[in-house]
Amino acid sequence: MLEELKTLCSLMGVSGREKKVRDYIISQVDGCAEYSVDALGNLLVFKQGRNRAANKVMLAAHMDEVGLIITYVTDDGFLKFAPVGSVDIKVLLGRSVIIGDNTFGVVGVKPVHLLKPDEKKQIPEKDSLYIDIGAKSKDEALKSVQIGDVAHFNSDYIEFGDGLIKARALDDRAGCAVMIEMIKNEQPYDLNFAFTVQEEVGLRGAKTAAYNICPDYAIVIETTTAADIAGVEGHKRVCCLGAGAAISFMDKATVYDKELYDLAFEVAAKNNIKIQPKTAVAGGNDAGAIHNSNGGVKTLTASTPCRYIHSPSCVLKKDDLNETLRLVNAVAAEFASR
Amino acid sequence: MEHLNSLIFSLCSQFGVSGFEKDISGFAVSRLSDYMDVKTDNLGNVIGELDGGGIHILLDAHMDQKGLFVTAVEDNGFLRVASCGGMDIRVLAAHEVIVWGKKPVLGVVPSTPPHLVKEEDSKKATDISEISIDIGMSKDNALKLVKPGDRITLKSPQFKMLGNFVCSPAIDNRAGVCAILRCLEILKDKKLNCRLTVLLSVQEETTGSGAKTGGFSIQADEAVSVDVSFAGAPEIPTEKTGEAGKGTMIGISPALDYAISRKLEKIARAQGIKYQLEVMGSKTGTNADHIQNAGKGAKTALLSIPIRNMHTACEVISLEDIESTAQLMAAYILERGVKRDA
């Protein structure tokens, strides 16, 4: 699973441009399952199990990542951009990005020496930011970059610390890696998988994926903010690295089915899987679109805790990813057979 | 330019935060030894000497980079830090770092998730004193590798941009070191009629101690210090900056020797070396300030390489500006080194 995750994190897949991620996933699941791609670009995979499922279960993880889109090129060759998805301006300043396939750039900042004292601690306004690619003119820039190109963070996959991974786009390539692992292995029951597009710009892919699959139950496999950093205590940590999959009772897009929420903890206890509640009503994910789809779908979200999410340096723990995989395997079989 | 590109990337890959310049110093010694006799002094300055007789000219560039210190290892294994040189705190959120402990250790500066940030604080950068770096380890494991006093640098990839622009951490001031090495390469087969000393100095980003003591012990007649200076970019008034790619910046300041500044300009114009003037109303904020009045004093000039995003890990320069800086220094030395007191 880690090899796949590493490759997934090397691929560019800003919302609306998920093709490279999708093509790689297809290369991994081809021969293990049936698949199709819908009009929006969702990759829908049917994995036949040893037994027919009593209920149709859909598992979902999104392929897209947050990034930037180039909106304008200035006369002196600098690129203006808009964020794609929710990107904290703070994590862009003085940071390297890759535009399209291979144009390297930097989000420029005014040198600190030229700032007024009150500006030195002030994050600049979003509209003042630009990307520098070393072009001397608009014409030179336009030879390498087109208006409408997307850019992503320039950040490698690195294992570090006590079993941790640092990479960009762990949200939600981690979920994709878990699903690839499930598809590659034999399953007790038939399962439907949706690798969705455009989650970061409003859960857009999941809406049609859920319509197309029309499931009875859904499990969204995600990453979620872990704020277990120095100076943050108690419930404000949301979830902690090393404590297993985080289960949501409510977020900004979904009030989760209480029965499924409780069931996840029961299944975890029975199978000795590490699990934790997500202790904040924050964020939102594809569950928001899926539970409202068709005539309504009972939905669960299981997330791998991830620090510094939506930044170039997302951090998660390998053990948590494994616990998420174990939990989703067990819960999916439970849903399919009940 | 390929050769300059690989040299600047090698120089920028060396670790050398102010006061702990061992790695960059070792690298500099090996490169400088191709051209001159090299020694190091008590503070760690690397000094190269080539005695052709005649006027004594000093070329200086600082080789240290700014960074952070570890001040404490917290119970949860996170590291408390302090600045070592002027950091731009606005760029630190979610930045990768390397902690130079018993071995290099990867870390991340936490960025506080939006749900924990009060509306009025959302546009504020976090003070260094409130930062604690995540190295993903328990305190016990952290203490096996890291201790207070260890230096930390911001980590970022090196890459080529369009034209001759390149991006890397630590270009401030490995670009200056690179320009001096390139100058020596240009001079390699030339007969020098001067005594040439090169000072690759330590601790510029903190106190300027390297230039103060190096300038004192070298006691040259004339000195040219090389550093980086502001290049134009959006949102910055053009009158406050030079332009990247438009040539070396010849400093003019009350604290610099006016005659040498103008002489550099004259040579550049005569030889078609790209240059621009950087006029300052007071001290320069570089090693030139210290070398000028060290010991008996030296007539001092300043050449600057225009840089974008100064004091971030993504500093951007044009290799052409390193080249023009090197060419101008070399031309100056060849012209100046004819006879003493000319």
For chain B, how many structural domains are there in total? 2
Which residue in this structure is represented by tokens 């994995």? A47
Per-residue pLDDT band at B117 (split at 50, 70, 90)? confident
In a domain, B164, yes or no: no
Verify that B240 and B96 share a domain, yes or no: no
What pLDDT was estimated at residue B32? Answer: 97
Verify that B52 and B73 share a domain, yes or no: no
Domain boundary among B89, B124, B154: B154
Which residue in this structure is represented by tokens 């009025």? B120
Model ipTM? 0.91
- The question of whether A199 is a catalytic residue gets the answer yes
pLDDT, tens digit, 9 for 90 and up, residues B236-275: 988 889 999 999 999 999 999 999 999 999 999 999 999 9
Q: Which of A181, A216, A184, A176 is nearest to A60 (CA)?
A: A176
How far separated are the first and last CA of chain A, in Å rounded? Answer: 28
In a domain, B122, yes or no: yes
Q: Are B133 and B107 contacting, i.e. CB atoms less than 8 angstroms apart?
A: yes
Residue of B nearest to A95 (CA): B314
Distance (Å) from the alpha carbon of A172 to chain B's nearest alpha carbon: 17
Q: Do B91 and A105 touch (CB under 8 A)?
A: no
What pLDDT was estimated at residue A304? Answer: 98
The arithmetic mean of pLDDT across residues B295-312, rounded, is: 96
Q: Which residues of chain A have pLDDT under 70?
A: none
Two tokens, residue B326: 């090197």
Q: Are B152 and B67 contacting, i.e. CB atoms less than 8 angstroms apart?
A: yes
Q: Of these residues, B49, B120, B185, B204, which one is catalytic?
A: B204
pTM for the whole structure: 0.92
What pLDDT was estimated at residue A178? Answer: 98
pLDDT, tens digit, 9 for 90 and up, residues A274-311: 999 999 998 999 999 999 999 999 999 999 999 999 99
In a domain, B162, yes or no: no
In a domain, B192, yes or no: yes
Distance (Å) from the alpha carbon of A94 to chain B's nearest alpha carbon: 6
In a domain, B342, yes or no: no
Residue B339 has pLDDT above 70, yes or no: no
User: Exposure pattern of A73-103 as b/e (b: 16+ CB <10 Å)?
Assistant: beebbbbbbebbbebbbbbbbbbbbbbeeeb
Q: Cα–Cα–Cα angle for B172, B173, B175, nearest 5°? A: 100
- Least CB–CB distance from B157: residue in A124, A140, A154: A154
Domain boundary among B110, B127, B154: B154
Location of each CATH 2.40.30.40 domain in chain A: 78-152
CA distance B331 to A32: 69
| Structural domain for B196, as ranges | 2-65+169-336
% of chain B with per-residue pLDDT over 70: 98
Q: Are A61 and A222 contacting, i.e. CB atoms less than 8 angstroms apart?
A: yes
Verify that B58 and B200 share a domain, yes or no: yes
Residue B133 has pLDDT above 50, yes or no: yes
Q: Do B88 and A112 touch (CB under 8 A)?
A: yes
Two tokens, residue B166: 């390149």
Verify that B35 and B72 share a domain, yes or no: no
Q: Do B308 and A132 touch (CB under 8 A)?
A: yes
Q: Do A88 and B115 touch (CB under 8 A)?
A: no
Residue B340 has pLDDT above 70, yes or no: no
Other CB atoms within 10 A of residue B127 CB: 10
Contacts of A158 in chain B (CB under 8 A): 106
Q: Report the CATH number at residue B267.
A: 3.40.630.10
Verify that B322 and B180 share a domain, yes or no: yes
In a domain, B159, yes or no: no
Verify that B143 and B185 share a domain, yes or no: no
Contacts of B285 in chain A (CB under 8 A): 113
For A78-152, CATH gives 2.40.30.40
In a domain, B81, yes or no: yes
What pLDDT was estimated at residue B338? Answer: 60
pLDDT, tens digit, 9 for 90 and up, residues B50-96: 988 899 999 999 999 999 999 999 999 999 999 999 889 999 999 99
Identify the CATH homologous superfamily for domain A2-65+168-337.
Zn peptidases (3.40.630.10)
Location of each CATH 3.40.630.10 domain in chain A: 2-65+168-337
- Least CB–CB distance from B136: residue in A86, A113, A161: A161
Contacts of B107 in chain A (CB under 8 A): 160
Verify that B182 and B320 share a domain, yes or no: yes
pLDDT, tens digit, 9 for 90 and up, residues A226-251: 999 988 889 999 999 999 999 999 99
Q: Of these residues, A199, A200, A222, A323, which one is catalytic?
A: A199
Q: Report the CATH number at residue B126.
A: 2.40.30.40
CA distance B136 to A205: 34
Domain boundary among B154, B185, B217: B154
CA distance A313 to B15: 21
Per-residue pLDDT band at B118 (split at 50, 70, 90)? confident
Verify that B129 and B196 share a domain, yes or no: no
In a domain, B230, yes or no: yes
Alpha-helical regions (H) of B130-257: 139-145, 171-187, 209-218
Mutate: best of A74, A76, A112, A153, partner B, most B CBs <10 A? A112
Contacts of A110 in chain B (CB under 8 A): 233, 235-236
Verify that B76 and B196 share a domain, yes or no: no
CA distance A74 to A142: 10
Mutate: best of A104, A130, A306, partner B, most B CBs <10 A? A104
Verify that B196 and B118 share a domain, yes or no: no
What pLDDT was estimated at residue B121? Answer: 82
Q: Are B304 and B159 contacting, i.e. CB atoms less than 8 angstroms apart?
A: no
Verify that B48 and B195 share a domain, yes or no: yes
Q: Are B208 and B85 contacting, i.e. CB atoms less than 8 angstroms apart?
A: no
Verify that B74 and B55 share a domain, yes or no: no
Residue of B nearest to A166 (CA): B108
Residue of B nearest to A316 (CA): B136
Two tokens, residue A93: 């300043």
